[in-house]
Structure 1
Amino acid sequence: MTEPKAKKEPKQEKATESYDYDTIIIGTGPGGEGAAMNLAKQDKKVAIIERHSSVGGGCTHWGTIPSKALRYSVLRFIEFKNTPLFSQAAQTLQPTFPDILKHASGVIRKQINLRTTFYNRNNVTLIHGEGSFIDQHTVAIAGEDGAVETITAQTIVIATGSRPYHPPEVDFSHPRVYDSDKILSLNHSPRSIIIYGAGVIGCEYASIFKGLGVKVDLINTRGRLLEFLDNEFSDALSYHLNSGKTTIRHGEEFKSVEAQDDCVILHTQSGKKIKADCILWANGRTGNTDKLNLESIGLKADRRGQVSVNSNYQTKIENVYAVGDVIGYPSLASAAFDQGRITANAILNGDADSALIEDIPTGIYTIPEISSVGKTEEQLTAAKVPYEVGKAQFKHLARAQIAQSEVGGLKLLFHTETKEILGIHCFGQNASEIVHIGQAIMQQKNGGNNIEYFVNTTFNYPTMAEAYRVAALNGLNRLI
């Protein structure tokens, strides 16, 4: 959420020396870490507050890291089963959800240790407790033992992240009702699961449970999966998810959730009753601002717990900044880290000397994986931009054949006259890695962004990167 830059009015402030710190950061997720590291490396005295017992925020503990680690384990199992050399041995194996959680837990521990060393090495003071404002320069920190300490700083950064949205009609205290945080406490493999919400989180968990052989009902409140994607790849994801024991139900809204001792029944507005062992609620998130006492400094969050900022990530309170999920779009861990670094520059220099790139890549860790950057065909058509399409199918690449990962492909969208790359869309194994090759070319200036680069360069063979050469030739051959 953005608003015009706040007009800086001259004011009398306490001298910097009278504060305990130059900057206090509330939250140790990617946004908080990015701000803390940049400020600390400029010799600023920084304190960072974390309400949990270890650093990393929701990204490390409940979101990005654990879900991707779970997905990786399931993907390796699927590959093992589908490899002819091992397929017979794989028939006797059936990992459970607790089994794959062990791998995720190990990754989380490594991430916590790594990120803790960042703060120690850079002399950032790490304080554990619940932070809240007393005034625009003072933060109270309530510890687990009930003790409260207060610290002051010239500037304060809110980087408290978000949590799953809980509609009041749903009883999340019931042992069969989960959200995307609580699902990591699931201590068995259910036979069936309802996933309500088919956004990125819902689709990723649908892939995970589908890979474990669980019967999945994926409830999509919209007309198609992930409508922000290129339609071709949205349809491809639907095709691969909506098979076997998985059913996608589009355009459905919940009426009530009936949680019983032995099952959960979802009642929809259309009159359907869907029964499963448990339900995962993955429909919306809320910014973690409700315990910050924002009223004490004259700030107010919207109904989604988010606050407004300008291009410097500055709230309407001049010395208070906010980054990450608490400001809304794009709500990505990668973007939050960059927002934190940009905010630090704004604090140091009075104005940020950079901004997020216009085309932020999207990585969706379903099975198969999806990634994109730039415009979709639908957007270009609506804007009346003359473009052409170049495609490469992975099944034609030697590397994909060797790796038994022939599903999917690469699509390049480019301007028919300038040959400038306008969009890159990738579906299949390692899509989120492959997309960055094209992204690097898209960022080139002075004519460097040109699809002919992929024809004129030499790629290692065999590689998945060859898809760019194949797609570029395919597209250029379409030009009249």
Structure 2
Amino acid sequence: MKKYDYDVLVIGSGPAGESAALNAAKHNKHAAVIEDRPMVGGGCTHKGTIPSKALRHAVKQLMRFNTGKLFREIGHSRQIPYPTALSAAAGVIEKQVEMRSKFYARNGIDLHLGTARFIDAHTVAVLQKDGSTEHLSGQDIVIATGSRPYRPQDVDFDHPRIYDSDTILDLKHTPRKILIYGAGVIGCEYASIFSGLSIKVELINSFDNLLAFLDDEISVALNYHLRDRGVMVRHREEYERVEATENGVILHLKSGKHLHGDALLWCNGRTGNTDALNLAAVGLEADERGQLQVDNHYQTSVPNLYAVGDVIGWPSLASAAYDQGRSAAAVSRGKEVTRFVDDVPTGIYTIPEISSVGRTERELTDARVPFEVGRAFFKDTARGQISGEDVGMLKILFCPETLRILGIHCFGAEATEIIHIGQAIMKQEGTGNTLRYFISTTFNYPTMAEAYRIAALNGINRLASY
């Protein structure tokens, strides 16, 4: 058998690549990671999840200060510049890089900095920053190159007033008004962030509703609270062209509207980072969004080549990417039964945040699956009243005959944390995944988790047989 430099060679050090390399190393496989940034962590650490959530946290703290009665006793409300709020992310990124660098060193994983390009199915050329090239070979290769914001050719992203979700983290001033084109997850999150800084926001959505994959009730609630914070949400609008000058940006819509702002944030989709890989050399071809097709074992059409994370598209979440990388590494070493990640919870870090798992009311109705609903409003919980986090609700969808939980949807403070309680119960087998668990379990009081008991009792009370 031919001797390769590595058993597993991973391209990309984001969540998917990191977990693939670590899983391989933990099972005594010689692994290496190629990263084209100067530091590990990938887009998640440097341009996506970590900086945007750190920014959100800083903004939320400011909002609590400006709206809290106690704080009014010690000072007037404050406004802080966008770059100041953003600076909170720098320390977190530094900690993440330091921690992840130690992972590689502790587990004997070699790190090669440079841009990878396939020579053949087992060999990669790495173009290093000094212009030199090294060749690395691997018995199996995992493509975990992530994604970047989609940029249509007719929009000038070199203009200093036009940004995407990567470059917005380099914004050096505080705009009075920002236009956000694209009301997906990223667009809605940044609409919350900028409105929290008292910046005027116009959010342009090309669909009928915000985040149509959410439960309708949650989507409506998000729409309401964005508007309540001053965000102008425009539905069913598409851009015709973008006009940018020294003084501002004009977004021309197909409906004939002309929207004016100091800056434009483009949040209309993402593209897989595959264009520099020379996929033709290994017989692979990405789709129009730069994404690769894989099977349920994360293998491409070339058996020893795997792809994980954003580069394969949905669900494009760091949480899923970690598990995908582990699964790919497990298949690589010969494990026959591995997990295909298709049941991840939704986590959206708007203000308030959103999380859900399972099916929505619309999905159940369209499938003609009978269900009942139990709700708990945070304003009715003692913890919500104490903390001032009284906006939002927990909603449980369940079968009226068996009480089996079909879906859980949460909107409000700590929704992405709260959802995991319900997720854990839904994953139980037999009769353990029913509403009865929440009724027969004593929750700490006062807690936000107590909302599960309240929602369960609310749902049970809707049934004539109880």
Aligned residue among 2, 12, 28 for 2:13 = 28
* CA offsets 1:53-106 (integer angstroms, 9 cap, x no match): 001111111111111111111111111111111125453421111111111111
* CA offsets 1:22-61 (integer angstroms, 9 cap, x no match): 1110000010011001000011111100000001111111
Aligned partner of 1:77: which letter?
Answer: L
Whether the 8 Å CA contact 2:14–2:43 is kept in 1: the answer is yes
Give distance in 2, aligned partners of 1:311 and 1:352: 10
Which piece of structure 1 moves more, 411-420 or 236-245?
A: 236-245
- The alignment partner of 1:363 has SS state of strand
Aligned residue among 401, 422, 430 for 1:438 = 422
Give distance in 1, aligned partners of 2:5 and 2:181: 46
Aligned position for 2:442: 458
Report how far residue 446 of structure 1 moved.
1.4
- The alignment partner of 1:309 has SS state of coil
Aligned position for 1:12: none
Aligned partner of 2:86: which letter?
Answer: L
Give distance in 2, aligned partners of 1:422 and 1:292: 42
Whether the 8 Å CA contact 1:343–1:352 is kept in 2: the answer is no
Report how far residue 351 of structure 1 moved.
3.1
Whether the 8 Å CA contact 1:342–1:352 is kept in 2: the answer is no
Confirm or deny that 1:291 pairs with 2:276.
yes
Give distance in 2, aligned partners of 1:446 and 1:249: 46
Whether the 8 Å CA contact 2:297–2:338 is kept in 1: the answer is no
Aligned residue among 98, 107, 110 for 1:113 = 98
Give distance in 1, aligned partners of 2:87 and 2:146: 25
Aligned partner of 2:414: which letter?
Answer: N
Give distance in 2, aligned partners of 1:278 and 1:434: 35
Give distance in 2, aligned partners of 1:294 and 1:446: 46
Aligned position for 1:309: 294
* CA offsets 1:180-201 (integer angstroms, 9 cap, x no match): 0000000111100000000000
Aligned position for 1:403: 387
Aligned partner of 1:167: which letter?
Answer: P
Report how far residue 359 of structure 1 moved.
2.7
Aligned residue among 341, 354, 358 for 2:339 = 354
Confirm or deny that 1:320 pairs with 2:299.
no
Whether the 8 Å CA contact 1:81–1:90 is kept in 2: the answer is no
Aligned residue among 413, 436, 443 for 1:429 = 413
Confirm or deny that 1:212 pairs with 2:197.
yes
Give distance in 2, aligned partners of 1:92 and 1:388: 44
Give distance in 2, aligned partners of 1:172 and 1:345: 41
Aligned position for 1:3: none
Report how far residue 382 of structure 1 moved.
0.7
Aligned position for 2:326: 341
Give distance in 2, aligned partners of 1:359 and 1:141: 35
Report how far residue 144 of structure 1 moved.
1.0
Whether the 8 Å CA contact 1:312–1:351 is kept in 2: the answer is no
- The alignment partner of 1:44 has SS state of coil
Alignment of 1:16-415 (within 5 A): 16=2, 18-87=3-72, 89=74, 91-349=76-334, 351-356=336-341, 358-415=342-399
Report how far residue 360 of structure 1 moved.
1.4
Aligned partner of 1:453: which letter?
Answer: Y
TM-score norm. by structure 2 comes to: 0.98
Aligned position for 2:402: 418
Runs of 4+ more than 3 Å apart: none
Aligned position for 2:453: 469
Give distance in 2, aligned partners of 1:90 and 1:197: 37
TM-score norm. by structure 1 comes to: 0.95
Whether the 8 Å CA contact 1:391–1:411 is kept in 2: the answer is yes
Cα 1:124–1:441, aligned 2, differ >3 Å: closer, same or farther? same
What is the alpha-carbon root mean square deviation over aligned residues? 1.0
- The alignment partner of 2:431 has SS state of coil
Which piece of structure 1 moves more, 127-136 or 75-84?
A: 75-84
Aligned position for 2:462: 478
- The alignment partner of 2:432 has SS state of coil
Give distance in 1, aligned partners of 2:346 and 2:136: 38
Report how far residue 296 of structure 1 moved.
0.5
Structure 1: stretches of 5+ with no match in the other structure: 1-14
* CA offsets 1:419-453 (integer angstroms, 9 cap, x no match): 00000000100000001001000000011101011
* CA offsets 1:116-150 (integer angstroms, 9 cap, x no match): 11001000000000001000000000011110000
Give the paired residue count.
464
Aligned partner of 1:291: which letter?
Answer: A
Give distance in 2, aligned partners of 1:451 and 1:355: 27
Structure 2: stretches of 5+ with no match in the other structure: none
Cα 1:405–1:244, aligned 2, differ >3 Å: closer, same or farther? closer
Give distance in 2, aligned partners of 1:101 and 1:352: 43
Give distance in 2, aligned partners of 1:265 and 1:348: 54
Aligned partner of 2:123: which letter?
Answer: T
Aligned partner of 1:190: which letter?
Answer: P
Aligned partner of 1:437: which letter?
Answer: I
Whether the 8 Å CA contact 1:315–1:321 is kept in 2: the answer is yes
Whether the 8 Å CA contact 2:273–2:290 is kept in 1: the answer is yes
Aligned partner of 2:356: which letter?
Answer: S
Aligned partner of 2:142: which letter?
Answer: V
